[in-house]
Amino acid sequence: MKKTYLTRYLVEQERNHGHVPPGLRLLLEVVARACKRISLAVNKGALGDVMGSADSANVQGEIQKRLDIIANEVLIEANEWGGHLAAMASEEMEGIHVVPNRYPQGEYLLLFDPLDGSSNIDVNVSIGTIFSVLVKPEGAGVSEQDFLQAGAKQVAAGYCVFGPQTTLVLTVGDGVSVFTLDREQGSFVLTQEHLRIPEDTKEFAVNMSNQRHWAEPVQRYINECLQGRDGPRGKDFNMRWVGSMVADVHRILTRGGIFMYPWDKREPEKPGKLRLMYEANPMSWLIEQAGGAATDGQQRIMDITPSALHARVSVFMGSRNEVERVTGYHLSEAGQA
């Protein structure tokens, strides 16, 4: 069977469906090449002198791993000179990175979490790169305000998971496609199209050690799952938790489930832990394009207009019926308040 490589897929999307203008195609190809470089660094592990923590923290105050910094630099260096971008924003940087004047400026904005799940690096568990593409609003120059667009405005989103295989998962608004890196060829090969998430599931992903800190609607939902077939749900549930969003969501896209990272009363002023623009928005679009749902417990995540570059959000995403159930519990409580 003839292989379909990423470039051909993008060209056909442009030619047949009009989803991928030439500038966006070039941008996605560059992001894919950057992911290959990051994959090589991850695969070298201790042999590449990339393990362990760096002597620095990111804008959220989290200790950075060496690979966090390397991945961030790889994505910036790969993308700033091609002429398709106006600016970039990263979970690892406080402000935006505007394309230098020595390079032509394009019409797109790129946002990324360069290495999601980096706490798992040293124990050889799957990690990944998440990215999102927006169109820069019209007008001269580029500012942080230009990035503060709702997730529904995305024109491309995806992630690359570095596990037993290096897998690129992508949407340009025409379903979800999966590409696997052929290491011998050095190219991403299309291995699955039109990914679909089952509407029902018996599996949930959440950090159960935080249960005592959750709001009542989440407590209710989890307690019903834990009661199994003898409880109101009438079926037994399994729990899975990798601690790397890209790995947990990849499993859910592959076989169904619900991923939850709810509000936590230890930091009541924060609406959630995960970053809206670098993690929640791109993953929400992928989930929705695969037939699932994604909310913050109250509303569709992709309808939220970001208040800041590093805005946070609660996340419930995956199999539609489960997401609607736990969201309904939140809305019911809000209606009674």
- Overall average pLDDT of the 133-159 stretch: 96
Candidates 162, 76, 179, 79; CA nearest to 117 is 162
- Overall average pLDDT of the 307-325 stretch: 98
pLDDT band at 253 (very low <50, low <70, confident <90, very high): very high
pLDDT band at 56 (very low <50, low <70, confident <90, very high): low
pLDDT band at 171 (very low <50, low <70, confident <90, very high): very high
pLDDT at 148: 98
pLDDT in tens, 107-134: 999 999 999 987 787 888 899 999 999 9
Mean pLDDT for the chain overall: 92
Q: Are 181 and 166 in contact (CB under 8 A)?
A: yes
pLDDT at 245: 96
Candidates 2, 43, 4, 328; CA nearest to 179 is 4
- Which residue would you say has higher pLDDT here, 122 or 289? 289
- Overall average pLDDT of the 219-235 stretch: 97
pTM, whole model, 2 decimals? 0.94
pLDDT(74) > 80: yes
